[in-house]
Amino acid sequence: MNKILVTGGTGFIGSHTVVELHNAGYEVVIVDNFANSNPKILDQIESIIGIKPEFVELDLCDEAKVAEFAAKHTDIAGVIHFAAYKAVGESVQQPLKYYRNNFYSLINVINAFNSNLNLVFSSSCTVYGQPDVLPVTEAAPVKKAESPYGNTKQIAEEILQETCAVSPDLKVISLRYFNPVGAHETALIGELPIGVPQNLIPFITQSAIGKRGPITVYGNDYDTKDGSAVRDYIHVVDLAKAHVAAIQRLEQQKAESNYEVFNLGTGRGTTVLEVIGAFEQATGEQLNYTIGARREGDVEKVWGDVTKSATALGWTAELGINEMMSSAWNWEKYLKDNPF
């Protein structure tokens, strides 16, 4: 049973990926420093898969500690690297915190395994900015990032591509996520925003459960079907399964080069107002919302061309907006009865 290191494995996408790796027959070791997650997630993962994965609490910015970890774990068949700060707004206020953390951790992981590594990297559709052509393909030009967070994803992809060019034993797949939402069907793991949620879905579920007031729709004067902005929302479980497919592609050496990029979305665009309607329909809950001003840094509309992921990765998203909304709501209700 091959062992996969999941950095940031107690986070939102990381925890769901740990579950799907187990389901696919992998052994998992998790490294996390709980900078943006809760230790209780380890117990929740155990409740889902029946075993507690090996866990090492570690700050990946500590070069010596990461090297020590790698020296003790020579049986790692691959790494899925989630560990990074990801709050767009916070990155604008604290750019150096983001550049230091997101780059030191990535570079330390590559160096610790002597650039001899199967690495799946957590990237983002943020690198596209506002695409000129929709749906956006992996060949679309990367645009100037709207935030230091988005810039760390762009530069990290460059670091990986340029290192792969001179390190044939470093094999990398960068996965560009669109908008990850929803929760595991058991409602035992899901998105755990710290403080006031910046992202739409956790704000919706917290508003519906009474933790927050009405939702503010950030703008209804965009050039879209109902004036609100469009995104490609993808269920976090579908996203997790794509990471398993990526690791398998690397292990089976099916990659066409040692640096590849894939879009992870549904290929469908949904407006903010449509999401609100879908949530109400899926849950029977009535949402209160107001129309506010556009949010600084938002793009108007983006959704992915996911042809390459379907053909080369052999992966396609299967869950629809209804399951995204109902699973997110079930998780919010679980949290109300079982506060972390």
Q: How far apart are the C-alpha atoms of 273 and 294, rounded to whole Å?
A: 14
| 274 touches ligand WQD (CB under 6 A) | no
**Shortest distance, CB of residue 63 to ligand WQD, whole angstroms?**
25
Binding string, residues 11-50; x marks residues near ligand WQD by CB under 6 A = ----------------------------------------
| 83 touches ligand WQD (CB under 6 A) | no
Q: Between 153 and 171, whose beta carbon lies closer to ligand WQD?
A: 153
| 205 touches ligand WQD (CB under 6 A) | no
Give the angle 222-227-229 at the CA atoms, nearest 5°: 65
Structure-block tokens of residue 239: 């996203």
Of positions 99, 103, 218, 334, contacts ligand WQD by CB under 6 A: 218
| 61 touches ligand WQD (CB under 6 A) | no
| 124 touches ligand WQD (CB under 6 A) | yes
Q: How far apart are the C-alpha atoms of 319 and 328, rounded to whole Å?
A: 13
Q: How far apart are the C-alpha atoms of 122 and 120, rounded to whole Å?
A: 7
**Shortest distance, CB of residue 7 to ligand WQD, whole angstroms?**
15
211 CB contacts (<8 Å, ≥6 apart)? none
| 94 touches ligand WQD (CB under 6 A) | no
Dihedral sign, Cα of residue 326, residue 328, residue 331, residue 332: negative
Active-site pick, 26, 128, 149, 222: 149
Residue span binding ligand WQD (CB under 6 A) among the ranges 129-137, 195-203, 255-263, 306-314:
195-203
**Shortest distance, CB of residue 83 to ligand WQD, whole angstroms?**
13
Residues 278-297 that bind ligand WQD (CB under 6 A): 295
Residue span binding ligand WQD (CB under 6 A) among the ranges 32-40, 210-218, 242-250, 254-262:
210-218
Closest by CA to 314, choosing from 251, 229, 222, 244, is: 244
Using an 8 Å Cβ cutoff, are 265 and 234 in contact?
yes
Determine whether 149 is an active site residue: yes
Element (H, E) at 231: strand 230-231
Residue span binding ligand WQD (CB under 6 A) among the ranges 15-23, 25-33, 216-224, 246-254:
216-224
Using an 8 Å Cβ cutoff, are 17 and 6 in contact?
yes
Of positions 6, 41, 88, 234, contacts ligand WQD by CB under 6 A: 88
Query: What number of other Cβ atoms are within 10 A of residue 268's Cβ?
Result: 18
Of positions 76, 79, 145, 229, contacts ligand WQD by CB under 6 A: 229
Q: What is the DSSP string of 164-190?
A: HHH-TTEEEEEEEE-EEE---TTSSS-
Q: Between 289 and 334, whose beta carbon lies closer to ligand WQD?
A: 289
Q: How far apart are the C-alpha atoms of 178 and 231, rounded to whole Å?
A: 8
Q: How far apart are the C-alpha atoms of 34 and 180, rounded to whole Å?
A: 20
Q: How far apart are the C-alpha atoms of 69 and 33, rounded to whole Å?
A: 14
Binding site for ligand WQD (CB under 6 A): 86, 88, 124, 126, 177, 179, 198-200, 203, 215-218, 229, 231, 272, 295, 298
Q: Catalytic site residues?
A: 149
